[in-house]
Structure 1
Amino acid sequence: MKQALMAAALGLALSLPFGAAQATNAADNPFYTVSELPFQMPPFDKIKDEHYVPALTRGMAEHRAEIEAIANSKDAPSFENTIVALDKSGALLTRVSNVFFNLSGANTNDELQKIQRDFAPQFAAHQDAIVLNEALFKRVETIYQARQKLGLNDEDQRLIVRNYTDFVRAGAKLQGEQREQLKTLNARLAELQTQFSQNVLNETNARGLSVSDKAELAGLSEEAITAAETAAKAKGSEAPYLIALMNTSGQPALASLENREVRQRLFEASILRSSSGGEHDNRQLAIEMAKLRAQRANLLGYPTHAAYMLEDQTARSVDTVNKMMRELAPAAVANARREAAEMQAMIKADGKDFELAGWDWAYYANKLRQKKYNFDASELRPYFELNNVLEKGVFYAAGQLYGLQFERRTDLPVYQEDVQVYQVNEADGTPLGLFIADFYARANKRGGAWMNEYVSQSKLLGTQPVIGNHLNIPKPAAGQPTLMTFDEVTTLFHEFGHALHGLFSDVRYPRFAGTNVPTDFVEYPSQVNEMWATWPSVLANYAKHYKTGEQIPQELLDKVLAAEQFGQGFATTEYLAAALLDQAWHQLSADQVPTDALAFEAKTLQDLGLDFAPVPPRYRSTYFSHIFAGGYSAGYYSYLWSEVLDADSVEWFKENGGLKRANGDHFRKTLLSRGGSEEALELFNQFRGRAPDIAPLLQRRGLASGATAH
């Protein structure tokens, strides 16, 4: 997933990007001047925790002064002195907030968490001060009404429309008491989202499974056992082994642990996160946020938060999203039940009489995979060494498609010793940007995988992109190779698809740079990039045994490809359960919000026919950070929505010869480089030559046909 912008991270509807104009010099705070490093990369070696508060405070003050100057200008409003000036404003605030919010997710500590809590309502108030500035909005509205007479190009026109739309959606037309209500709602929501996020991180760390007897870890690889031992030592655990939790409901170790009781303990530690009392309980936070979001939507003229959010997405309406997902759900659950029946038969054949449960699914799915396709997923890991996958897989594919070249930069500072930096160059050697790779899990790093921008591309500002990718791969013991699962390999290709979206950005205004597109479009390019993980020539280049250098056997590879649709019932069901749960929370009016979060969750899944106990939602409400602490509220459907475009695009690549430079250049020119400078589906149409077709997705996921394209 992409890293949400500052405003989205705080739960605000508006995202007004700030420019990169020169800030005033000061003595020793590295944020006060533009970085002199290549591409204005942040000087991580000079940034200390004590720099954030003064830089954030000063950044907001400078930005307020710039906004006041624009709003109160004696000159008649024009495109340059109002719309463009807004895009240029807030340089210092952009510099510090980009680093602060990125590191708050990737490398946090107690001090950063405190700053985040303290500043959340201040940021909300700062954004409100901009969008609720009547004089400023009047200037924006004047230009909007006259836009057709200004002789501007399409990107200029779109910037006017998007600015006006953002202001209106953020409440610029509200008056009097309603404005004060909106400010109060935004400030409280910002506080709650920060608290929710920190609760999930702290609870995930606290709930790792402690194991005293090594025999209970039977089935895990020696590398996994060593990692559990290392984790226990790092945490100071009394038990010698600790299985750390990942952010999803399912946990990787569940596929291998032979001891059923241990599997159950691990599973329950995961799904009970932030819901069993104590300081990190998120049940009441979810309820309060749902109510406040509904109240804010109503204040802004919408029946629900989902209606408000979806109006500005490519889906446009709640009905459209509900129709797609609810049509797919019965087939997905039916597939999952068929998969469960096969596993139940396997359990019976083993002479056991228990009923398949959530903690059994991954274990028996792995055994069933072995039986059906005669391979164990763990057989793949020796062929997927991290640096090999990155440089000879991900980078190789980008070189073949786009002509990109990658140069490791060990001379540039990083914020953590495991982080790597690469300079990305065009085929002719022209510098394009920087890529920052942060792949290992840490206790002070939020779960999941994401992309963020430290510097966005903009012709207006003369900036080139500095992009970060983040994964959570368990770090092996010192001296041991990092061997990846196939899912981790796919995730690496996925996140680099986001990185390409940022690196290839070729727009004038920062408002449209890179991944500044609708939430339900942003996952599309990254999902397309996943296809190269299993493309034969790419696989042949990177899938080599870490000890012998032997290429992955064709027989094993054929089994992997044959098994690609295996488990789609589970995968689609757990995803749809989470996506529809997101919609259920956000399609409520304020007076419909429940008082019991878990009871509401259970009833919702039951009503939707998704209450299949062996397959819990990918995220339960209390650790669903995407929707309660990130930029995906009422938007988690986006992954499936984008996959319609993705699956259709994969067909285009196959029809046109696959991994060819001409194909990459076409995708880059018509879509990746355009960011948000045109309507999202129009960009897809320019690339594909027609509207999207849902049939390739249904085939990929093994679902019955019948849903319509969007």
Structure 2
Amino acid sequence: MTVNPFFQASPLVYELPPFAEIREEHYLPAYERGMAEQLAEIAVITADRSLPTFENTLVALERSGELLRRVDAVFRNQSSSDTTDVLDEVEAKVSPLLAAHHDAIHLDLALFARIEALHEDRAGLGLDPESLRLLERRYTAFVRSGARLGAAEQARLRELNAELAALGTTFQQNVNAATRAAALVLDSAEELAGLSGGAIAGAAENARVLGHDGRYVLSLKNTSGQPELAQLTDRAVRERLLAASLGRGVEANGPLAIRMAGLRAERAALLGYPSHAAYVVADETAGTVEAVSSLLARLVEPAVANARREAAELARAAAADGITEIAAHDWAYYSEKVRQSSYQVDAAVLRPYFELERVLRDGVFFAANLAYGVTFTERPELTAHHRDARVFEVFEEDGTPLGLFIGDFHARASKRGGAWMDAMVAQSGLTGQRPVVLNNLNIPRPAPGEPVLMDWDEVRTLFHEFGHALHGLFSDVRYPLFSGTSVPRDFVEFPSQVNEMWMVRPEVLANHARHHATGEPLPAELVERMTAAEGFGQGFRTVEYLAATLLDWAWHTVPRGEEVADAEEFEARALAAAGIAVDAVPPRYRTTYFQHIFSSGYSAAYYAYIWSEVLDADTVQWFETNGRAVRESGELFRRELLARGFSRDPLESFRAVVGRAPETGPLLARRGLV
């Protein structure tokens, strides 16, 4: 193939990928050529007979692989946000090829010899701090990838990496298929009693799109809990909905999880670590298994006690309906009842105040302008990856162009669950590229002509993911390796969690939370009651999160050679052993649909959310109490942390902002665990 839009840099503004020209048949040839080109570029580096220098080795390595970066950024998003059978086939082919390509680079003895020589002489090279860090990080990456292993061990490592890559792709595709297949199809609107008229109309439209005309379909979200559980009055329907969610992928993905955990344990042992968790955490900000285990252990007992107190209050509310014991499918429903009776908060009453367009422009964008001075202009003439997606140009306070933001907000059958951020083009001073970043969400599409109304959690997710987008947009580093969100897993969620604070900041909330029909602002007392009600639900939220985290931890602390016979039995034992097995509170993800840890790079790192929340809660307190103006605080946070990416130690960036090491007190108070 000679005519392929990936074969040259995009001519569009900011090198926005030319989505209008990209076809499914372009991906595989572009991947193949991209990998071949990068290996040829590395061959030039290793063939150089002159002594290795920072420029002819490290900088040359940073410049290599541009075509591969272009196609991978686009395909990674496309296969997640709008997949097809053809793209699934491409992904299945490409995943093991990419794993082999990574090994071909990191197990290249000649290349490693040049990097090792520079690393040994690093004190005398006169490098600036970012360049010195590049050398140290590249050296560490090669060692952790097996560059010091013998030939036989490297051969086995290649086999392990290839199989794990293929299994991870299969796991994700199985989850996507199982999630679609498990959608709850209902025959009558009466079964949806409790949902708003708009939500029922949306379920009817969803049924029409999915080929169930005249019926109603509740498609599943990626988490165990489903938002409709809080409103559905028919207990049997609630039970069916939760059972469909919890039962996803058992037969297909249970054996895959066992196999992947075993292969990861073997790989960790090969690289000199007692477990996969030890291997992962050694390169995170946490540093050690003991540090993570200690934090989690401190949280379990108070979280479970908090959840049991909540359960007792729910049981009192359920007794009026003749229910003697709260089941998992009852929890959200009676939590909503308690919120309404104890806090006078009805989640359904909030929805009309959160219309997507207003929240985006007058909330998310407004807060970014308030804190950082940036502005957003929609560019409808620019084509994104899907007709639902919208492109915005981002400008500095003085009008200087900064980059592009793409928002793809709606759920569809071809999109995987959850919400995420991707970088289509990563910022780099070395290449002169400016950022193009993208947010994907899964907000249900309403019936035609109806406004897009969001619930409280969807609004929070929008602010959260935009925090990741700002991390990418504000990147100001020289080397691509350090750009934007290319930071440790247990740090990457920190800036996005901080951005959630703007959702309820009074001056921001007053600007975006207005009734979609009347323009009436969300009453202040309702916000206060909602905030108080959120405190009531912290027990449930903390336990469901910790259960998933400790499940991840259990799978990835299994030593090499230990046999696991059944995934569901292993899960039950692990949760019981951790003291987090609360029957009425399922893990946020069960093993068989836990994409974060089996197909999305969070293996042994799902703890990152709570670890990052320590930094987040501390930083939010700093924003509120440091005595500076919002704009001044935002500029400091941007300059010293968001802009720095991974160009220096992330905790050093935290200290540069807050002025000290992080403290856990604000997190414990927020979670009701003091």
Q: Could you tell me how far 1:656 is from its partner in structure 2?
A: 2.6
Say if 2:156 is the partner of 1:174: no
3-state SS in 2 of match to 1:591: coil
Say if 2:238 is the partner of 1:263: yes
Q: Could you tell me which amino acid in structure 2 is paired with residue 182 of structure 1?
A: L
Paired residue for 2:373?
403
Paired residue for 2:38?
63
Q: Could you tell me how far 1:311 is from its partner in structure 2?
A: 0.1
Partners in 1 of 2:462 and 2:553 — Cα distance?
28
Partners in 2 of 1:556 and 1:298 — Cα distance?
54
Question: 1:597-676 residue pairs with structure 2 within 5 A?
Answer: 597-657=567-627, 660-676=630-646
Q: Could you tell me which amino acid in structure 2 is paired with residue 137 of structure 1?
A: F
Paired residue for 2:496?
526
Say if 2:266 and 2:561, in contact at 8 Å, map to a contact too: no
Per-residue CA distance 1:669-708 (angstroms, 9 max, x = gap): 111100000011111111110001100001000003xxxx
Q: Could you tell me which amino acid in structure 1 is paired with residue 242 of structure 2?
A: F
Paired residue for 2:192?
217
Q: Could you tell me how far 1:214 is from its partner in structure 2?
A: 1.6
Q: Could you tell me how far 1:480 is from its partner in structure 2?
A: 0.8
Q: Could you tell me which amino acid in structure 2 is paired with residue 288 of structure 1?
A: R
| Aligned pair partner of 1:589 in 551, 556, 559 | 559
Question: 1:365-404 residue pairs with structure 2 within 5 A?
Answer: 365-404=335-374
Question: 1:373-522 residue pairs with structure 2 within 5 A?
Answer: 373-522=343-492
| Aligned pair partner of 1:185 in 160, 185, 189 | 160
Say if 1:45 and 1:413, in contact at 8 Å, map to a contact too: yes
Question: 1:134-283 residue pairs with structure 2 within 5 A?
Answer: 134-237=109-212, 240-275=215-250, 277=251, 281-283=252-254
Paired residue for 1:336?
307
| Aligned pair partner of 2:63 in 88, 99, 110 | 88
3-state SS in 2 of match to 1:250: coil
Say if 1:72 and 1:136, in contact at 8 Å, map to a contact too: no
Paired residue for 1:118?
93
| Aligned pair partner of 1:345 in 300, 307, 316 | 316
Say if 1:56 and 1:96, in contact at 8 Å, map to a contact too: yes
Partners in 2 of 1:417 and 1:354 — Cα distance?
49
Partners in 2 of 1:304 and 1:407 — Cα distance?
48
Paired residue for 1:49?
24
| Aligned pair partner of 1:313 in 284, 304, 307 | 284
Partners in 2 of 1:32 and 1:105 — Cα distance?
23
Q: Which has the higher mean CA deviation after the structures are superposed, 236-245 or 453-462?
A: 236-245
Gaps in structure 2 of 5+ consecutive residues: none
Q: Could you tell me which amino acid in structure 1 is paired with residue 401 of structure 2?
A: P
Q: Could you tell me how far 1:546 is from its partner in structure 2?
A: 0.4
Gaps in structure 1 of 5+ consecutive residues: 1-25, 705-710
Per-residue CA distance 1:296-323 (angstroms, 9 max, x = gap): 0000111100000000001111111111
Paired residue for 1:13?
none
With the length of structure 1 as denominator, give the TM-score of the two structures: 0.94
Say if 1:192 and 1:285, in contact at 8 Å, map to a contact too: yes
3-state SS in 2 of match to 1:469: strand
Q: Could you tell me how far 1:592 is from its partner in structure 2?
A: 1.9
Partners in 2 of 1:376 and 1:488 — Cα distance?
16
Change (3 A) 1:486 1:363: same
Partners in 2 of 1:241 and 1:188 — Cα distance?
40
Per-residue CA distance 1:327-367 (angstroms, 9 max, x = gap): 1001001110110110111111x140341111000000000
Change (3 A) 1:296 1:153: same
Change (3 A) 1:593 1:506: farther
3-state SS in 2 of match to 1:44: coil
Say if 1:423 and 1:431, in contact at 8 Å, map to a contact too: yes
Partners in 1 of 2:563 and 2:206 — Cα distance?
40
Change (3 A) 1:686 1:268: same
3-state SS in 2 of match to 1:216: helix
Say if 2:467 and 2:498, in contact at 8 Å, map to a contact too: yes
Partners in 2 of 1:133 and 1:169 — Cα distance?
13
Partners in 2 of 1:491 and 1:74 — Cα distance?
53
Query: Percent identity among equivalent residues?
Result: 54
Paired residue for 2:79?
104
Q: Which has the higher mean CA deviation after the structures are superposed, 377-386 or 559-568?
A: 559-568
Partners in 2 of 1:702 and 1:136 — Cα distance?
52
3-state SS in 1 of match to 2:643: helix
Say if 1:210 and 1:239, in contact at 8 Å, map to a contact too: no
Runs of 4 or more consecutive aligned structure 1 residues displaced over 6 Å after TM superposition: none
Partners in 2 of 1:570 and 1:28 — Cα distance?
54
3-state SS in 1 of match to 2:561: helix
- The alignment covers a number of residue pairs equal to 674
Partners in 1 of 2:311 and 2:368 — Cα distance?
39
Per-residue CA distance 1:487-530 (angstroms, 9 max, x = gap): 11111111111111100000000000001111100000110110
With the length of structure 2 as denominator, give the TM-score of the two structures: 0.99
Q: Could you tell me how far 1:213 is from its partner in structure 2?
A: 2.0
C-alpha root-mean-square deviation of aligned residues, in Å?
1.0
Q: Could you tell me which amino acid in structure 1 is paired with residue 171 of structure 2?
A: F
Say if 1:401 and 1:659, in contact at 8 Å, map to a contact too: no
Say if 2:534 is the partner of 1:559: no
Change (3 A) 1:692 1:169: same
3-state SS in 2 of match to 1:616: coil
Q: Could you tell me how far 1:28 is from its partner in structure 2?
A: 2.1
Q: Could you tell me how far 1:466 is from its partner in structure 2?
A: 0.3
Say if 2:47 is the partner of 1:72: yes
3-state SS in 2 of match to 1:565: helix
Q: Could you tell me which amino acid in structure 2 is paired with residue 338 of structure 1?
A: R
Partners in 2 of 1:27 and 1:347 — Cα distance?
67
Say if 2:299 is the partner of 1:299: no
Say if 1:507 and 1:675, in contact at 8 Å, map to a contact too: yes
Partners in 1 of 2:508 and 2:128 — Cα distance?
41
Q: Could you tell me how far 1:558 is from its partner in structure 2?
A: 2.1
Partners in 1 of 2:64 and 2:81 — Cα distance?
27
3-state SS in 1 of match to 2:429: coil
Q: Could you tell me how far 1:658 is from its partner in structure 2?
A: 7.3
